[in-house]
Amino acid sequence: MIVERVGERSEVTRVLSQSPLRVLTPRNHGDAAWLFLSSLGGGFVGGDALSLDVRVGDGACCWLSSQASSKAYRAPAWSLEIRAEFRLNSIRMYELFIANKNYSSWSLRPWVLMKARDIPFTEKFYRFAAGTDFRSFSPSGRVPCLVNDGERVWDSLAICEYLAERHPGLWPTDARARAWARSASAEMHSGFGALRETCSMSCGLRVKLTHRSDGFERELSRLNELWSEGMTRFGGPFLAGNTFTIVDAFFAPVAFRVQTYGLEMRGHAATVAPTLLALPAMKQWYADALAEDFRDASHEDFSKVGTITGDLRAPAR
């Protein structure tokens, strides 16, 4: 059983039990997580032996008990053995490896998800620069990469899915909204190539586009359609309802692109980028991006797509 601090609360982030033992985790009004031991046989009796491994992370607390109906029955001839190992503050923080906030759209996805949903992590920042080998920490040689207790997870989609298994509610709880959110995130992950190529993320720049391909126009219109659909079907203010979920994290880099390139978003789709940009987590990313006084030449050439009309970043050193 693993209990971790998530925002103001303690949450059970992993529980595995071997039949006939079951562990129930009802929601609780306070901030401790509740864990109730239960057995299919209706209670614990002499001769039963339980072995428990409980890990409680930094700042988290839990209540561990048995259900009233699963109490230990008196059996004088046999003893009931419960071996429990509690490891307190033993959970290491997630480490999230990312690159330049001004440019790294893929890094932004898990970063903003974890910030907006109060999942604590240590940021490991690496600059794009000749000689920086991302393979020293990421198997694909790309960012983002998440490290948890020695386990490495790379690719923004895999990272968000990994987090969703451990922190309830990162995908929408409503099944229809969840199916839509998964489809829209997958479409963003594997599609929108022309939009990505024409409008590479550069948070601090303002660019007037002069070259817009047919593919780009088609994708911009698809983006309008997709965002409008999310807003009208699930009622906003976020893409799949009233909570910031993984689908919003997937489109967070697009919100910066809308701002940089002045992309035309119409009707219900027009509220999405301003809502995302107003989030404290997005404001923090933006401020950090603007403060970067280092550049990567391969991300600075806009001559094929338009003209730079503004640069709000700290001067390059």
Ligand X SMILES: N[C@@H](CCC(=O)N[C@@H](CS)C(=O)NCC(=O)O)C(=O)O
User: Which residues are at the interface with ligand X (CB under 6 A)?
Assistant: 99, 104-107, 134, 141-144, 155-157
Q: Which is nearer to ligand X, 206 or 299 (CB)?
A: 299
Provide, rounded to whole angstroms, the least separation between the CB of residue 105 and ligand X. 6
Q: How many CA atoms lie within 13 A of 151 on its CB side?
A: 11
Provide, rounded to whole angstroms, the least separation between the CB of residue 157 and ligand X. 6
Provide, rounded to whole angstroms, the least separation between the CB of residue 57 and ligand X. 26
Provide, rounded to whole angstroms, the least separation between the CB of residue 297 and ligand X. 14
Q: Which is nearer to ligand X, 157 or 308 (CB)?
A: 157
Q: How far apart are CA 253 and CA 100, in angstroms?
A: 13
Q: Which is nearer to ligand X, 189 or 233 (CB)?
A: 189
What is Dmax (Cα atoms) for the chain? 87
Element (H, E) at 273: helix 272-277
Query: By beta-carbon distance, which residue lies closest to ligand X?
Result: 142
Q: Which is nearer to ligand X, 44 or 126 (CB)?
A: 126
Element (H, E) at 164: helix 156-166
Q: How far is CA 313 from CA 1, 163, 257, in A?
A: 46, 32, 15
CA 6 to chain centre: 13
- β-sheet with 121-125: strand ranges across: 121-125, 94-98, 145-148, 151-154
Q: Which is nearer to ligand X, 8 or 133 (CB)?
A: 133
Provide, rounded to whole angstroms, the least separation between the CB of residue 108 and ligand X. 9
Q: Are strands 33-39 and 62-66 parallel, antiparallel or unpaired?
A: parallel
**How many CB atoms neighbour CB 93 within 10 A?**
15
